[in-house]
Amino acid sequence: MEKLRRTLGDDAVRDLSRLREIEKLLEQSGFLARQSGHLKLTPRGVRKLGERALAQVFDRLDVDRPGTHDARDAGGTGEPTGATRPWVFGDPYAIDVQRTVHNAVLRQGPTTGRVKLHPDDFEAVEAENRTTAATALLLDMSFSMPMRGNWEPAKRMALALHSLIASKYPEDQLYIIGFSALARVMKPEELAEVGWEHEYGTNMEHAFNLAGRLLAKHPVATKQVLLVTDGEPTAHLWPGGPQPWFFSWPPVRETLERTYKEAMRLQKAGVTMNIFMLEDSPALFRFIDRLARVVEGRVFAVQGDELGEFVVRDYLKRRQSA
């Protein structure tokens, strides 16, 4: 402290003391924990970051909070909500017997004979639609993302989406896949701390391949890939090569074709793709245009600070219409 005071003055000492107090409070609150002498975010801390990121997204969206648009069915295979509604022709036969008989008694009035049922007496059990979704969020972690100011907005978006799914759609599955020279699955707590990758390359082929294998674990779910990138692919897998991936800038034809081929496998497996394009260079536009046609996907050209709004809004629309 004394050395800091002599070097930077009393203000620097006070600032450091405040930081240490904040650090202690965060540890006591369970948001940070020490591991091998280093401070790490705890799962609780990650949830708090995600909740904050999601709240900021909804503040900008100016829409209803999740939970105000429940999709409900009558007589389906979902979970009962405790409510009923009048039965109509075509409803599956999930009849609330107690309510139905009660309606008949009210209609007939006091009687010593049998209760006669009328079609208007029947009520169906209301159930919440339990259609599930499996999503692979593919985040470009190449050097260009932080250089262009896109990496921090991408991380905030991923944390917001994770918070949305965990709180509103816990039956859904979200895989976060980061990719540069190679692709890998990332945990939310890892995402909060990680920076861009130091290896050169944007290996979408590997990211698509990994996403396909993970989504295949959910055969009955609605499956989608969300691709977030600011550049065309510059790397592909290189079996038998001196390293696991091949890199070239500008990208060679083989890299592009292998990427399209892996994307087509996703499309044939019933996976939909939404592409969030963070830059508008001619080379990226040509690649994204062909990719979207190959997979019959949708393209969103967005600025980095708008990314969270676009992704969260689109996810909510898809789930509410499921």
Q: pLDDT per residue over 111-162, tens digit each?
A: 666 777 777 777 877 655 556 899 999 999 998 898 889 999 999 999 999 9
Quote the pLDDT of residue 74.
39
Distance CA 33, CA 54 (A): 24
* pLDDT exceeds cutoff 70 at 19: no
Helix, strand, coil percentages (3-state) for the chain, rounded to 5, are 45, 20, 35
Q: What is the pTM of this model?
A: 0.70
Residue 241 tokens, joined: 């090569």
> Do 182 and 244 meet the contact criterion of CB atoms below 8 Å apart?
yes
**String of b and e for 168-207 (b: at least 16 CB within 10 Å)?**
bbeebbbbbbbbbbbbeebebbebbeeebbeeebbbbbbb
Tokens of 288: 């994204």
Task: Take residue 13 and report the two structure tokens written for it.
Answer: 């000492």
Calculate the alpha carbon distances from 146 to 19, 116, 130, 142, 158 in Å: 26, 73, 38, 8, 15
State which amino acid sits at residue 142.
Answer: S
pLDDT at 80: 47
List, for residues 189-218, the tens digit of each pLDDT value: 887 776 666 778 999 999 999 999 999 999
CA dihedral 13, 19, 20, 26 (to 10 degrees): 170
Question: What domains can you pick out in the chain, each with its CATH number?
Answer: 1-30 (no CATH), 61-68+131-320 (3.40.50.410), 72-128 (no CATH)
CA angle 308–141–166, rounded 5-degree value: 45
Nearest to 231 by CA among 277, 187, 269, 199: 277
Distance of CA 89 to the CA centre of its chain: 38
pLDDT at 305: 83
In single-letter form, the type of residue at position 212 comes to G
- Whether 319 shows a pLDDT value over 60: the answer reads yes
Helices (H), the chain: 2-8, 10-28, 43-61, 97-108, 144-147, 151-168, 188-193, 204-215, 253-268, 282-295, 307-320
